[in-house]
Structure 1
Amino acid sequence: MRATSLTARFLARSFVPLAAAALLLAGCKEQQEEHAPLPRPVRAITAERSEDGETAMLTGQILAENEAALAFRIGGRMIERSVGVGDAVTPDKVLAKLDPVNEENALRSARAALSAAEGRLVQARNNFDRQNTLLQRGFTTRVLFDQAEQELRTSQSAVDDAQAQLQMAEDRLSFTELRANVTGSVTARLAEAGEVVQPGQTIFQVAREDGRDAVFDVPANLLRSVPANAPIAVTLTDDPSTIAQGRVRTVDPQADPVTRTFRVRVGLIDSPAAMRLGATVTGRVQLEGTPGVKIPASALTKINNQPAVWIVDPKSSTVALRNVEIARFDPGSVLVSEGLDDGDIVVTAGVQALHPGQAVRLLGSRS
């Protein structure tokens, strides 16, 4: 009886720790199941290899193919302005005038000087003719004849100089009127009546009517990808049905110091009348084809100091790193030449927090 009681007591004491341990293990298992990591949501694209070049689009404006800066050839106070921005001009049309008082006085002075020089020339010629007649008859000396001849030459030179001064005075008077020498329209007015202007200071900017250019600011990497003599389609931004064809006419040799872009002028062929000066246009050009896969720049990461991307395994929904070769860096995107195949799922957002083998869930798909 006593042995049976001891056995029962021993079994009871052993069962309690075993039951507690079993309950503890069951709780840990439930806790581990409750805190199992969820698939990380990411955004991704499906790689698609392309052999053809892309179509680049840029926004620019319509400018005149040739522009003329009109200025006075002399300085003075401008008293009259006859045209404004947008006005049409034709050759020899008076656009502005300077105060002509000083030039008119200089012209009168030049005319008076010429008249006086011509009077002295008449006197010198009469004296020379008289001395020549007397010398032939032997009634004068050779010295007096030479003096008369020298006075005649001097007087003739004085008349020539006075005539030149008169011509200069007449030219300066005509320079007080600014006349157009081209057919076109005024695009800028840089001085007003009452201002004192300097010689050569631009007063009007005139766009010639002999052509139109579409002007674009092009990044250097895009400029290198445009084929030589490539056709460019130019459309009005607010009316895409208005279209003109053109080709690159000039490329600035130096980049803009602020934007680091190059100004490109595209000469338009038979531009429509709707493409007025200053109109905003969109240019489209087919770039040279570079085989590869274009992906967003946000998809790019690095492994072993080499470019890499995260690839999603569609069967296991896990990610793995893969090295790639970059053919070209574009604003906001990169062109991958090697390392990606058609159908590869490339992570484009959330790449910083991934690790190999991590389970992911593609945003937009059901988990």
Structure 2
Amino acid sequence: MPTRPLNTTLLAGLAALLLSACERDAAKEATPAPRPVRTTTVEKREQLTPLTFTGRIEAEDEVSVAFRIGGRLLSNDTRLGDRVEAGQLLAQLESQNELSALRQAQAALVAAQGQLTQASNHYQRQQTLLAQGWTTRANFEAATQAQQTAQSQVDAAQAQVSSAHDQVGFTELRADAPGKITETGPAAGEVVQAGQMIARIARQDGRDAVFDVPAQLVRGALAGLRVTVNLTNDSEVAAHGRIRQVAAQANPVTRTFEVRVGLTDPPTAMRLGATVVGRVEASNGPMIDVPATALTRMNQQPAVWVLDPSTNRVSVRNVEVQRFDQAQVIISQGLDTGEIVVTAGVQALHPGQKVRVLGSEP
């Protein structure tokens, strides 16, 4: 009979152990393990938008040459694509009227010089007679005045001769710098006006890629952006440059703005008039972007899960999406720099849930 108290004691101990184990299991079920997630820290980054335009190659410095006076075109030796040198004669006007005006001015100069010689001799005689007391002061002053008038007439006649020489020179049109002719104007025999384009010359000191850009893209800061330019028929032929000029006024027909890109050492294959494609990355300013996997919905609006690093608990927050694609989402409002957003595991979360960031200690 002494074994009964021992059995009772063993049974009581086993029951206490089983009860303690059940309580621990119940405690584990009441406090679930933190859910593993992946996160990212919100930062503002410069967003670049790739832009592509089709344009053409033009000379960096291209000028239209024209006569300063009007007249009948005697000759026009310009040919499209010809190379010209500085001082080379390009075209010529009939110069009969200008030569006649020159001869008339020269004759007037000779007559004025004769009057000056006569007035100077008379002045010298009056000066000598006045010194000897044989003439009056009034006669001497009249001789002085006559000499000055004659000298003024000679000066005016010389100016007329110089102007007539210039007019004759204006009947010849010469290149002011070496280059290539990219456009020609009227043919010989036509009557042209002063300032009418006779030829357009592309000077040999640089090449531009010229593009017509829509107005909505010109509003941004394009000046100085780096551009990659390729030939449309051979993408291997490429050059780099920077936007150096944006037109201040839109084209009245297309309503686009001309943008000129100064090319650095363009290859010889990029000839004038060649069609090219320009590629540039325009900045949209600093923006907040998060992976597309971070996006969820709350109250029928886009939302993200935000982690509180002090408690390792998450909360859901509505955000405004500016733009999104398969890889990332651009957030315009709702997030601040430095906040932590859950990027993986968002489907099984609930507000206030404790999480464990993968790669950190539990």
Say yes or no: does 1:216 pair with 2:211. yes
* Corresponding residue number in structure 1 for 2:139: 144
* Corresponding residue number in structure 2 for 1:69: 64
Q: How does 1:223-302 map to 2 (within 5 A)?
A: 223=218, 229-288=224-283
Structure 1 residue runs of 5 or longer lacking an equivalent are: 1-49, 294-305, 309-322, 330-334, 344-367
AA in 1 matched with 2:144: E
Q: How does 1:333-344 map to 2 (within 5 A)?
A: 337=330
| TM-score, normalization by structure 2 | 0.66
d(CA) in 2 for partners of 1:288 and 1:221? 14
- Identity across the alignment (%): 52
AA in 2 matched with 1:110: A
Deviations 1:108-163 (CA, angstroms, capped at 9, x unpaired): 11111111111111111111111111111111111111111111111111111111
* Corresponding residue number in structure 1 for 2:297: none
3-state DSSP class of the match of 2:283? coil
Q: CA deviation at 1:336?
A: 6.8
Relative to structure 1, is the Cα distance of residues 328 and 122 closer, same or farther in structure 2, using a 3 angstrom cutoff? Answer: farther
* Corresponding residue number in structure 2 for 1:79: 74
d(CA) in 1 for partners of 2:135 and 2:221? 90
Q: CA deviation at 1:276?
A: 0.6
Deviations 1:209-239 (CA, angstroms, capped at 9, x unpaired): 1111001112234445677633211011101
d(CA) in 2 for partners of 1:76 and 1:244? 45
Check whether the contact 1:226–1:285 (CA below 8 A) recurs between aligned residues. no
Deviations 1:151-195 (CA, angstroms, capped at 9, x unpaired): 111111111111110111111001100011111111111211111
* Corresponding residue number in structure 1 for 2:52: 57
Q: CA deviation at 1:286?
A: 2.2
3-state DSSP class of the match of 2:268? coil
Say yes or no: does 1:166 pair with 2:142. no
* Corresponding residue number in structure 1 for 2:197: 202
d(CA) in 2 for partners of 1:326 and 1:263? 33
3-state DSSP class of the match of 2:236? strand
Q: CA deviation at 1:256?
A: 2.8
Relative to structure 1, is the Cα distance of residues 89 and 231 closer, same or farther in structure 2, using a 3 angstrom cutoff? Answer: same
3-state DSSP class of the match of 1:246? strand
Relative to structure 1, is the Cα distance of residues 54 and 136 closer, same or farther in structure 2, using a 3 angstrom cutoff? Answer: closer
3-state DSSP class of the match of 1:62? strand
d(CA) in 1 for partners of 2:222 and 2:65? 37
d(CA) in 2 for partners of 1:157 and 1:226? 60
Check whether the contact 1:325–1:338 (CA below 8 A) recurs between aligned residues. yes
Deviations 1:248-280 (CA, angstroms, capped at 9, x unpaired): 001112333433322111100001111011000
d(CA) in 1 for partners of 2:267 and 2:160? 51
3-state DSSP class of the match of 1:80? strand
Relative to structure 1, is the Cα distance of residues 221 and 204 closer, same or farther in structure 2, using a 3 angstrom cutoff? Answer: same
Deviations 1:262-320 (CA, angstroms, capped at 9, x unpaired): 21111000011110110000111123376679xxxxxxxxxxxx999xxxxxxxxxxxx
Q: CA deviation at 1:204?
A: 1.1
d(CA) in 2 for partners of 1:225 and 1:159? 63
Check whether the contact 2:323–2:331 (CA below 8 A) recurs between aligned residues. no
Relative to structure 1, is the Cα distance of residues 225 and 136 closer, same or farther in structure 2, using a 3 angstrom cutoff? Answer: closer
* Corresponding residue number in structure 2 for 1:110: 105
d(CA) in 2 for partners of 1:137 and 1:245? 88
